[in-house]
Amino acid sequence: MIGLLLVILLAIVTTVRIAKILWSRRALYKISKQLNGPRPSLPLIGNALIFAGDTSLHFERIRSCINAYPHPMRLWLGPNLLLVFSDVNHVEKILSTTKMTHKSDLYDIMKYYVGNGLITNSGPQWKHDRRILLPLFNTNFLKTSFDSMQEHSVSFVRAFEKFVGKGYSDIHHEVHCLNFDIIGEIICGVKLDTINGSNLDVLHAMEDIYDNIFSQMVKPWIHSKIAFDLSRYKKERSKIMTTIRHMVMNTIEKSKERVKADPEMLDGSDNFVPIIDQIHMLPDVQLNSDHKLLSDHIMTLFAASEDTTTITLCTTCMCFGMYPEYQKIAAQEVRRVFGDKPRAVTYEDLSELKYLEMCIKDCLRLATIAPIILRKCTEDFEIDKWTIPQGANVLLPIFEIHRDPAQWQVPLHFYPDHFLPENVAKRHPYAYLPFSMGPRGCIGKALALQMLKIELANLLQHYQFECDGKFPDIRLRNDISVRPIDGYKVKVFKRIWD
C-alpha cells in the first residue's frame, strides 16, 4: 500500500513539474504554431534527424529544409526553438537591437573549446571585454603589423613553387600554415613556423575543433553533460585542448616576460606590439588577473582569425581559376601597381588595389565564414506581426541571404562587380554580412581584409590559377564555416605578363 502511494505521489510530482515546464514555454509553442516548418519527428530531438548520417550531407539538408518554407519559419533542435528570418529588413532589426545580442545557448558547446571569449560570451562581461579589446585593432596596429604579414607572405610565395605545373593541387595546407604563422605572431607574439613544419600538432588540433563543435551542436542527444561525458567527444576534446591550451599558456607567460622587460614598448608609435602584449599593458585588472579569461580571449582571437582568412584566400584562388576573366582584371591591376617585376607590397599599395578588394569581398559572400548566426532573445521582441518570445533562438541563414536574387545580380557565381560603388549603393546594407553587423560585428574585419590583400597581391605577381567548373559546381560542407568537400584544388602556373 505504501509502495503504491509513493508511486502515485511520484507520478503527481512528475506531472506537476512537466506542466510547469510546458506552461513556462507556452509562448514558444504559440509562435511555433504560427509559423511554417517541418513537423518535429521525435519529441526529444525535434528536427535534428536532418543531421543524422553522412556529415558531408548536413549542409545541403539544412539548406533544403530552410528553403522549403516561406520565412519566417521554425525548426526544433531538441528543446530549442529556432526561428528562421532571412528578409533583410528583419535581419537589420534583429542584429541592431540590444535584445538580440546574446548568443544562443547552442554556442555553449563552443565554450568547451574557446571558453568565454567575444564569440561565445554575452551580457555585462562581453560588453566590458569588447569595449577593452576593440580599440586594440586600430589603424596603428594595422600599419605596424604590416611588415610581419608581408614577410610571411614572401615565404608563402616560395612554398607555392612546388605546385607549379603539377596539375591539380590542394593548396589548403600551405595557406593554412601562412595564416597560422601570421596570426601567431601578430596576436600571440610567437613564431610558430608551421610553413616549415613546426607546431603542426597545434595546427591540426585547431582544424579538429571546428568539426567537433559543429558535430556536437547538431546532436541534441549529447548536449547534456552526462551524455557528453559518455560520448567519444569528451576524449577528443581533451586531446585537442591539451595541445592548444599548452601553446596558449606558454604564449601568455612569454608575453608577461616581454612586457616586464620592456614596459615602455608602446611609447614609440611605429613599434609593432602583438595584441597579447597590448592586453598585458592595459590598466584593466580583471582581464590581466584572470588567466582563464585572458586565455579564452587569445584562443578566440586566434581561432577566429586564422581559419577565416585561410578559407577566403583558398576560395579566391579557386574563383580566379574558375573565372579567368576576373583573374585577368585583378592581375592587370596588380601589374599597374607593382610593375612587370615582382616587388614587396607596401602599406601604401593597399589603397590602390580596389578591384582585388572587390574580388575578396565576393569570395567572402560565396564562402560565408559563418553560414548561420544564432541569437537568443532576452526580452519579447516585436517584428512586424510576430512577437519573438523571450528564450527563443533566432537563426539568420547568412549563406542564403548572400544568394538572394533580389539583392545580388549574379547570386550563385563569383562576380566582383557586385561591389562596384553603384551596386553597393542599391543594395540593402544588411544583405552582406560576412563579419556580421550591429553590436556584435567582428572587431577584426579590417585586419582580415589587409592580410588577404597582401597575400593575394604577392601571389598574383608570381602565379596564375586554373580551375575547372564554376562555383555552383563545388560540393560544400559546413562546420562552423563553409568548406569544399573535395578540398581547394587548383592548377598553379608561373605568371608571364603578355
Handedness of CA 117, 208, 436, 277 (dihedral sign): positive
| Residues 225, 335 contacting (CB under 8 angstroms) | no
* 478 pLDDT above the threshold of 80: yes
Provide the pLDDT confidence category of residue 489 given band limits of 50, 70 and 90.
very high
Residue with cell 589603397: 351
Mean pLDDT for all residues in the chain:
89
Q: What is the pLDDT of residue 24?
A: 60
Q: What amino acid occupies position 203?
A: L
| Residues 374, 95 contacting (CB under 8 angstroms) | no
Q: Which alpha helices (DSSP H) does 262-353 contain, by range? A: 275-280, 285-289, 291-322, 324-338
| Residues 478, 308 contacting (CB under 8 angstroms) | no
- Using CB atoms within 10 A of its CB, is residue 264 exposed (0-12), middle (13-18) or buried (19+)? exposed
For strands 80-84 and 393-396, give the pairing.
parallel
When pLDDT is averaged across residues 25-47 and rounded to a whole number, the result is 80
- Tally Cβ neighbours within 10 Å of residue 92: 16
Can you tell me the distance from the alpha carbon of 240 to that of 336, in angstroms, rounded to the nearest whole number?
A: 46
| Residues 427, 89 contacting (CB under 8 angstroms) | no
Highest mean pLDDT among 32-36, 59-63, 86-90: 86-90
Residue with cell 521554425: 74
Closest listed residue to residue 180, CA positions, set 435, 451, 371: 451
**In the sheet where 393-396 sits, what is the strand order?**
73-77, 80-84, 393-396, 373-376, 102-103
| Ordered DSSP codes for 440-476 | G--TTHHHHHHHHHHHHHHHHHHEEEE-SS-GGGS-E
DSSP state of 36: B
Can you tell me the distance from the alpha carbon of 324 to that of 319, in angstroms, rounded to the nearest whole number?
A: 8
Is the model more confident about 469 or about 104? 469
Can you tell me the distance from the alpha carbon of 294 to that of 366, in angstroms, rounded to the nearest whole number?
A: 33
Can you tell me the distance from the alpha carbon of 378 to that of 158, in angstroms, rounded to the nearest whole number?
A: 51
* 268 pLDDT above the threshold of 70: no
Provide the pLDDT confidence category of residue 76 given band limits of 50, 70 and 90.
confident
Phi, psi for 484 (deg, rounded to 5) = -70, 140
When pLDDT is averaged across residues 355-373 and rounded to a whole number, the result is 95
Q: What is the pLDDT of residues 109-159, one digit of tens each?
A: 888 788 888 888 888 888 888 998 999 999 999 999 999 999 999 999 999
Q: What is the pLDDT of residue 261?
A: 86
pTM, to two decimals = 0.91
Q: What is the pLDDT of residue 468?
A: 93
Q: What amino acid occupies position 342?
A: P
Handedness of CA 209, 61, 175, 312 (dihedral sign): negative
Q: What is the pLDDT of residue 96?
A: 92
Can you tell me the distance from the alpha carbon of 454 to that of 450, in angstroms, rounded to the nearest whole number?
A: 6
| Residues 420, 358 contacting (CB under 8 angstroms) | yes
When pLDDT is averaged across residues 300-322 and rounded to a whole number, the result is 94
DSSP state of 2: H
| Residues 426, 432 contacting (CB under 8 angstroms) | no
When pLDDT is averaged across residues 96-114 and rounded to a whole number, the result is 84
When pLDDT is averaged across residues 253-267 and rounded to a whole number, the result is 83
Crossing angle of helices 354-366 and 291-322, rounded to 10°: 100
Q: Which residues is 463 bridged to in the sheet?
A: 494
Distances from the Cα of 454 to the Cα of 46, 332, 361, 416, angstroms: 46, 16, 14, 18
DSSP state of 347: G
**Domain boundary assignment for the chain:** 27-494
* 48 pLDDT above the threshold of 90: no
HEC states along 202-246? HHHHHHHHHHHHHHHHCCHHHCCHHHHHHCHHHHHHHHHHHHHHH
Q: What is the pLDDT of residue 303?
A: 87
Closest listed residue to residue 213, CA positions, set 55, 85, 60: 55
Interior CA angle at 365 toward 405 and 484, to 5°? Answer: 110
Phi, psi for 456 (deg, rounded to 5) = -75, -35
Phi, psi for 212 (deg, rounded to 5) = -65, -45
Identify the weakest region by mean pLDDT among 57-61, 64-68, 99-103.
57-61
Q: What is the pLDDT of residues 392-442, one digit of tens each?
A: 999 999 999 999 999 999 999 999 999 999 999 999 999 999 999 988 999
User: What is the CATH number that goes with domain 27-494?
Assistant: 1.10.630.10
Helix (H, G, I), strand (E, B) or coil at 409: coil
For strands 169-170 and 102-103, give the pairing.
unpaired
| Residues 359, 316 contacting (CB under 8 angstroms) | yes
Can you tell me the distance from the alpha carbon of 489 to that of 493, in angstroms, rounded to the nearest whole number?
A: 13
Is the model more confident about 490 or about 385? 490
Provide the pLDDT confidence category of residue 14 given band limits of 50, 70 and 90.
low
Closest listed residue to residue 374, CA positions, set 393, 361, 399, 352: 393
Helix (H, G, I), strand (E, B) or coil at 23: helix
Highest mean pLDDT among 168-172, 209-213, 236-240: 168-172
DSSP state of 352: G
